[in-house]
Structure 1
Amino acid sequence: MTDTTEASDASAETKSGQQDLGLIGKFLKGTEIDTRLLGMFGALALIWFGFHIYGAVFNGFGAMLTPRNLWNLSVQTSSIGIMATGMVLVIVTRHIDLSVGALLGVTGMTMGIVQVEILPQYLGLGHPLIWIVTATIGILMGMTIGAFHGWLIAYRGIPAFIVTLGGLLVWRGAAFLANNGKTISPVDSTFQLLGGGPYGTIGATGSWVVGIIVCIAIVWMMVSSRRSRQRHGFAQRPIWGELTVGGTSCALVIGSVLLVNSYPWPRGIVNQYAAANNITVPPEGLFISHGFAIPVLILVVVGILMTILVKRTRFGRNVFAIGGNPEAAELAGINVKWMTMRIFMLMGSLAGLAAVVASARLNSATNALGLLDELYVIAAAVIGGTSLAGGIGTIYGAILGALVMQSLQSGMVLIGFDTSVQQIVVGSVLVLAVYLDNLYRKNVK
């Protein structure tokens, strides 16, 4: 009788607690959506609509929410987003890397020299291996520099702030000395495709294929996660929660496909393409969609691989263990020094990959390549929920944070804000993000 009474009381308390949650609380609990993720989407929507309305009111037209601008925004976000995924691991382990912008610059300049001045002499101009060799050299160079930074930090005991601040100055100077500050252009034609542009895309059909594959992957992951929870006896999300999350995710993917496919090639490039391929252009013109740009797909692949690395491997578990408590992690048998060096190697590799995308997009290597990018990368990671205290961070959050930062910068450029104003806004947003993160963690505790 007593057991029955206690069970009834517990059931009543559960029902009472569910009623106290309210509709919003029930929705968040049922879908298990991170409130910070919703906050970032809200901030992104506010930025987009705010700049669009401002442009419509004061400039006579709203340029923010157009297929052309949003497509360009996705391409511009790619290099910052790629580096931000690595910065998550660096900050999670209670370090910082101030050198990523300069590292991007020196690897970009090196790749420019290699593909324009060196490889054509041995392989011939336009050889199909030029872009492969160049990109490989850039990524390996970034990894080598990152390994050197990591060795100084982990095995020589020099604080990461000092090592990477010195690296910022050293590698920025090295980029200038490599070619006496001259711009190297144009890069290899195939290498240039890695930066986007009309030819650096996969077109409408390719974009639909990618969209369908991603939607299938989303459904498969949700089914797999549900079976895994059931197998291990964990609580399941309600069916309506699963359908909401899955449906919203697929809707965003399909919406992205429709968006990139609605942005056509410029008429001049269409005419050139038609003439080169003996295509007759009708009087009303020929509509050729851009589709997803190659650098955006590179960012997506990097995001997926980094997420798997963080969540599905021992390396990822060790990263968060070190961030939570380095001393306890070392006592548990984790080689903290070797892990630190590997993290900076990974960060350097991603900076080298970002240099591939950035230099290909500009079709040149300049001394200004990657200037101040370290600020945007760190800001993207922090805005995305990575705690400067260590131990907490997500890859998808950093990519979304990069999109928020790039949206701010692009919006200010579109409405004519001065560069100095842009820097003030970026700095203010970074401080605000850290402040809000502190408030969030206090409330969670």
Structure 2
Amino acid sequence: MADTMQTTTTSGPRQADANPVTRFFRATEIDTRLLGMIGALLIIWIGFHVMTDGLFLTPRNLWNLTVQTSSVAVMATGMVLVIVTRNIDLSVGSILGFTGMIMGVMQAQILPDMLGFGHPAIWALALLSGLLVGAMVGTLHGLIIAFLGVPSFIVTLGGLLVWRGATWFVTSGQTVAPMDPTFRLMGGGTTGSIGATWSWIVGILACLAIAAAIINARRQRKRFAFPRKPIWAEYVIGAIGCLIVLGAVMVANSYYWPVAIARRYADASGIDWPEGGLLISHGIAIPVLIAIGVGIVMTFIATRLRFGRYVFAIGGNPEAAELAGIKTRWVTVRIFALMGVLCAIAAAISTARLNAATNAQGELDELYTIAAAVIGGTSLSGGMGTIAGAMLGALVMQSLQSGMVLLGIDTPLQRIVVGAVLVLAVWLDTVYRARAK
């Protein structure tokens, strides 16, 4: 009864005065800014689909789009925390290249000599070495920024140059290939996907997780006597979430193995080749699952852990956060260490996808990562940002690049468009914050 009265008093008169659309958004609590970004993404997709004569919105291109987005999306989740605390990291692309080269050398040269060629632990040890190097590089940056007082812009700009040069020195400029077969699964491809059956299982589990999250959020609101959404709004949110998940699974399962690979598989497995060909679905790619997993963990860190609350407190008012007893310097160190680990994860995805570690790996990824975070709603003034928004921003950036490639637009013009979009996103953020005051 008390909860009902509280809900009526806080939102009743406003609900009565508002139009139906406004009442719908208030009831469902949908982030209109995120919704606007989804609308912009759909416009980009439809526009490129028309301009490419129906090539863009095909299962093959959408599947490749998600795989190509994965590495930048992983780094964008960490960039959110960096920018929220009013810092910047310009070195993420170089760290990706450096850690990728370390992992490549470990599994192609060092570990086979130590453990023997084809040892099952090679890929895991190579990945672990990359994660450790990424964490150490990020920690070094954080210590210099936090305890020596050097601005993050300068430290990471120096890191951009230092780690790019270090990448060259690891192998004297040589490309390292091939990668361990198990390691290559993290890059996607025909074998780096989970297939149709497991994709549907993952989709169903994701729908159950959405329902559980809604139920838990409703219980928490009731526990602390907060106003709760109408039941119909909960159903709408759950239905939309499940439709998106199952739709994505359906698209992933609609992209089939190439005929030549399917025929080789049939011959090796003793399967008779049917008259209409053998249709084997790729399903969800492993790098996409890695990116989604990282996004879930980073969202939990940012919204549920004390560390996440400290990050946003520092971004909102660094002086007040320090006076409140928050160890702002060590929080900064941990943020950059986490950023280094995420760069290593992105490097594993990129190196596995290329099946090689190259000196040019990760070039300009710092631009795409920062742009993804800013387009996703992370304010350069600090204190505001979401993990989901940054990952969606990464998808927007990759969609632009993919569409321009299909149109045959030259690389220099692609960079002009990306730079213009970044400036536009910052301007829109400025306008949004000014109106919100």
TM over 0.5: yes
Which position in structure 2 is the counterpart of 1:5? none
Alignment pair present for 1:290 and 2:282: yes
Find the aligned partners of 1:293 and 1:124 in 2 and give their Cα distance: 30
Pairwise CA distance, 1:19: 4.2
Which position in structure 2 is the counterpart of 1:355? 347
2:246 aligned residue (241, 248, 254): 254
2:42 aligned residue (36, 41, 45): 45
Pairwise CA distance, 1:14: 6.8
Listed as ranges, the matches of 1:76-87 within 5 Å are 76-87=68-79
Find the aligned partners of 1:328 and 1:197 in 2 and give their Cα distance: 49
Listed as ranges, the matches of 1:119-268 within 5 Å are 119-268=111-260
Pairwise CA distance, 1:15: 6.1
Find the aligned partners of 1:20 and 1:211 in 2 and give their Cα distance: 40
Alignment pair present for 1:321 and 2:299: no
Cα deviation 1:280-337 (Å, max 9, x = unaligned): 2212111100000000000011011111111111101111111111111111111011
Which position in structure 2 is the counterpart of 1:272? 264
Which position in structure 2 is the counterpart of 1:68? 60
Listed as ranges, the matches of 1:401-420 within 5 Å are 401-420=393-412
Query: 2:324 is aligned with what amino acid?
Result: A
Query: 2:267 is aligned with what amino acid?
Result: A
Cα deviation 1:258-291 (Å, max 9, x = unaligned): 0100100011111111122222221211110000
Which position in structure 2 is the counterpart of 1:32? 29
- Which aligned runs of 4 or more in structure 1 are off by greater than 2 angstroms? 11-20
Find the aligned partners of 2:16 and 2:10 in 1 and give their Cα distance: 10
Find the aligned partners of 1:94 and 1:123 in 2 and give their Cα distance: 45
Select between 32-41 and 274-283 the one with higher mean Cα deviation: 274-283
2:332 aligned residue (333, 340, 349): 340
Alignment pair present for 1:113 and 2:105: yes
Pairwise CA distance, 1:111: 1.0
Find the aligned partners of 1:50 and 1:27 in 2 and give their Cα distance: 28
Alignment pair present for 1:17 and 2:23: no
Pairwise CA distance, 1:20: 3.5
Find the aligned partners of 1:140 and 1:69 in 2 and give their Cα distance: 34
Query: 2:32 is aligned with what amino acid?
Result: T
Pairwise CA distance, 1:389: 0.5
Cα deviation 1:170-224 (Å, max 9, x = unaligned): 1111111211222111111111111000000110011011001110000001011
SS in 2 for 1:237: coil
Find the aligned partners of 1:185 and 1:159 in 2 and give their Cα distance: 37
Pairwise CA distance, 1:108: 0.7
Find the aligned partners of 1:12 and 1:312 in 2 and give their Cα distance: 29
Listed as ranges, the matches of 1:356-371 within 5 Å are 356-371=348-363
Cα 1:183–1:148 change in 2 (3 A) is: same
Pairwise CA distance, 1:378: 0.2
Cα deviation 1:71-90 (Å, max 9, x = unaligned): 00000000000000000000
Query: 2:353 is aligned with what amino acid?
Result: R
Find the aligned partners of 1:282 and 1:321 in 2 and give their Cα distance: 62
SS in 2 for 1:438: helix
Alignment pair present for 1:299 and 2:291: yes
Find the aligned partners of 1:111 and 1:273 in 2 and give their Cα distance: 30
Which position in structure 1 is the counterpart of 2:419? 427
Query: 1:255 is aligned with what amino acid?
Result: G
Select between 425-434 and 122-131 the one with higher mean Cα deviation: 122-131
Query: 1:66 is aligned with what amino acid?
Result: T
Cα 1:333–1:185 change in 2 (3 A) is: same
Pairwise CA distance, 1:18: 2.6
Query: 1:259 is aligned with what amino acid?
Result: V
TM-score by length of 1: 0.95
Find the aligned partners of 1:237 and 1:157 in 2 and give their Cα distance: 46
Pairwise CA distance, 1:392: 0.6
Which position in structure 1 is the counterpart of 2:3? none
SS in 2 for 1:240: helix
Query: 2:420 is aligned with what amino acid?
Result: S
Which position in structure 2 is the counterpart of 1:8? none
Cα deviation 1:45-99 (Å, max 9, x = unaligned): 011000110112xxxxx21100000000000000000000000000000000000
Find the aligned partners of 2:229 and 2:158 in 1 and give their Cα distance: 49
Query: 1:225 is aligned with what amino acid?
Result: A
Q: How many residues align?
A: 430
SS in 1 for 2:360: coil
Structure 1 gap ranges (5+):
1-10, 57-61
TM-score by length of 2: 0.97
Pairwise CA distance, 1:13: 11
Query: 1:32 is aligned with what amino acid?
Result: E
Structure 2 gap ranges (5+):
1-7
Query: 1:389 is aligned with what amino acid?
Result: S
Find the aligned partners of 2:401 and 2:9 in 1 and give their Cα distance: 52
Find the aligned partners of 2:142 and 2:268 in 1 and give their Cα distance: 50
SS in 1 for 2:52: helix
Select between 164-173 and 124-133 the one with higher mean Cα deviation: 124-133
Find the aligned partners of 1:368 and 1:280 in 2 and give their Cα distance: 44
Query: Cα RMSD (Å) of the superposition?
Result: 1.3
Select between 22-31 and 248-257 the one with higher mean Cα deviation: 22-31
